[in-house]
Amino acid sequence: MSNHKFKSGFVAIIGRPNVGKSTLMNHVIGQKIAIMSDKPQTTRNKIHGVYTSDELQIVFLDTPGIHKRTSKLGDFMNQTALNALGEVEAVLFLADASEGFGGGDRFIIQRLKDLRTPVILVLNKIDKVQPEELLPLIEEYRKLHDFAEIVPISAMLGNNVNTLLDQIGKYLPEGPKYYPDDQITDHPEQFVCAELIREKILHLTREEVPHSIAVTIEDMRVQENGVVQISAVIYVERDSQKGIIIGKQGALLKEIGKLARKDMENLLGSKIFLELWVKVKKDWRNQERILRDLGFHKDV
């Protein structure tokens, strides 16, 4: 054992939708706990991912992408992201190097101005740009904010991610282990299972469905034979969406179930029996009571 004191702390990951926040966290943690999708705004709640090494423990908060609001759910997502910044040791501002600097980045940097917390700029997707394009881009960001560090990475390929972890370590205080070594998330398994179902729907459906769905786990129990029985409800806003998710003769729903079950079995390490139901809740994204029922609490 080295003489190093153990360091620990909380780090928020922020950035525009779709810059690779969940991909980064899943890579660091080494297991899938945040859903990944090519559709923006897929992360709705803060997800805590836990990275532990011999020297440090980083608890990541993966926040919803900060974006221009269009509904009460959008308000909630922005508020969640901004609130996370007040309760952490460092902030990772993730930007997509392949997209270049955009208005959305400026919008977020404005919100970082009054922050006392160190902000590390993480330029993701460097595998998609030429090395000589990177320096002018870094300069552009540096002019707008005094970043504590600037680290280019590829979350998908894992390039430079260890360097990023070392840089984060510089800003963490000496502290306790908040979670046991083998724990990678503080979310109950039900939450992660619901997210996995939602990921499959995002993956398999067309544009009109994604943000109109919410998933709740109604029941989760272990049978005597060790099989975990899970029944889940997929909520949509309109009857037509219900038809889309069920698919011709139930084919799409079956496929969603099959793919989600596979990920759940990996996560829980046991056989899963999964039942899925689809229900319509009209305009749930704009109704506070329904949002509350579905677990979207404002962190005020």
Question: Pairing relation of β-strands 214-222 and 228-236?
Answer: antiparallel
Domain 7-169 sits in which CATH superfamily?
Answer: P-loop containing nucleotide triphosphate hydrolases (3.40.50.300)
CB 234 within 8 A of CB 215: yes
pTM: 0.59
Task: Please list the residue range(s) of the chain that carry CATH number 3.40.50.300.
Answer: 7-169
Interatomic CA distance for residues 79 and 299, integer angstroms? 8
Domain 189-293 sits in which CATH superfamily?
Answer: K homology (KH) domain (3.30.300.20)
From 133, 139, 107, select the one nearest 121 (Cα to Cα): 139
Task: Please list the residue range(s) of the chain that carry CATH number 3.30.300.20.
Answer: 189-293
Predicted confidence pLDDT, tens digits, the chain (300 residues)? 445 689 998 888 888 877 888 788 778 877 555 444 444 444 444 546 788 888 998 988 766 555 555 556 566 556 665 666 767 899 999 999 999 888 888 888 887 887 788 999 999 999 999 989 999 999 999 999 999 999 999 998 989 999 999 999 999 999 888 777 766 665 567 777 888 898 898 888 866 565 778 888 888 787 777 788 889 999 988 888 899 899 999 999 999 999 999 988 877 777 889 999 999 988 777 777 667 766 665 443
DSSP code for 131:
H
